[in-house]
Chain A
């Protein structure tokens, strides 16, 4: 366990904290999704820095690429959902979603 790896893990924890705080406190749906994006940046940083510290950078790189592909698919679906939510409620406020029925 190297000191360098711990520094990367600390910064990744910082990104996780920022993302989690957004998810817990914000009301705008797009802001919530930006929070998810920030968390995903922390995850990619952990994956690649672990590979870097353990001298398995090629494997870490392929895992990060897989993660990015999954992330893009998630973003496309979630943003389409956000547009649909906006069409239904005419607002981006997440509290309006509690009034959805059936």
Chain B
């Protein structure tokens, strides 16, 4: 459990770094490190497939996409953030956590867990047999993403 908590602390710290870093490249790398730690945590929790997806897709592919966008949108004068952002952050963070914990303490005991049979079979059985409709949805979402990117990058006609 200590390892899990250390990884969770690392994830939150690197996410804070990603948000507060001035340089966008450093922010993207911090986000990738947070994803890597989350992937390792998934492995430790006994979810190797989710871990592999998290590390290869989120820490790998999404970081590359971020880097590409940062490289394509390089501006000389950076966007100036408000000076109060870094000062107010700790207050907001602590206040949000306190309110969240208070609400969860009151709310969670009232939620009844749905009774269901214990899990059996392999991950493939669950993904392909129980969650078949999710896979159809995934295909639809991927196609929608592809068409959206194609539409956004299409060459405009002269008369448009």
Give the number of chain B interface residues (Cβ < 8 Å): 79
Chain A residues with CB under 8 Å of B144's CB are 73
CB distance from A2 to the nearest CB of B (A): 11
Question: B82–A27 contact, CB under 8 A?
Answer: yes
Question: B5–A58 contact, CB under 8 A?
Answer: no
The SS class assigned to the A binding surface is helix
Q: Mark A1-40, 1 if CB is under 8 A from B, else 0.
A: 1001011111101111111111001111011001101100
Question: B141–A70 contact, CB under 8 A?
Answer: yes
CB distance from A43 to the nearest CB of B (A): 11
Given known A13-B100, A58-B123, A68-B54, contact A34–B19 (CB-CB < 8 A): yes
Q: For the complex, is A97 an interface residue (Cβ under 8 Å from B)?
A: no
Chain B residues with CB under 8 Å of A72's CB are 57-58, 61-62, 145
Question: B137–A66 contact, CB under 8 A?
Answer: yes
Chain A residues with CB under 8 Å of B18's CB are 34, 38
Chain A residues with CB under 8 Å of B45's CB are 48-49, 52, 57
Q: Mark B95-127, 1 if CB is under 8 A from A, else 0.
A: 011001100100011000100101101110111
- Chain A residue nearest to B93 (CB atoms) is A17
Q: Which of A17, A65, A76, A79 contacts B92, CB < 8 Å?
A: A17
Question: A51 CA to B7 CA in the complex, in Å?
Answer: 18
Which residues 42-101 of A sit at the B interface, judged by CB distance below 8 A? 44-45, 48-49, 51-52, 54-66, 68-77, 79-84, 86, 90-93
Chain A residues with CB under 8 Å of B142's CB are 69, 73
Given known A30-B24, A75-B65, contact A68–B19 (CB-CB < 8 A): no
- Chain A residue nearest to B89 (CB atoms) is A21
- Chain A residue nearest to B46 (CB atoms) is A57
- Chain B residue nearest to A27 (CB atoms) is B79
Question: A63 CA to B138 CA in the complex, in Å?
Answer: 11
Question: B85–A62 contact, CB under 8 A?
Answer: no
Chain A residues with CB under 8 Å of B116's CB are 56
List 15 other contacts, CB 8 Å, given A79-B65, A83-B72: A10-B97, A13-B100, A21-B96, A25-B81, A25-B85, A30-B69, A34-B66, A37-B62, A55-B119, A58-B121, A73-B142, A77-B148, A82-B69, A91-B79, A92-B75
A-B contact pairs, 19 of them (CB 8 A): A6-B104, A18-B15, A21-B89, A21-B92, A30-B66, A34-B19, A38-B15, A38-B34, A48-B45, A48-B47, A52-B46, A61-B47, A61-B126, A63-B131, A73-B141, A73-B145, A76-B65, A80-B148, A82-B69
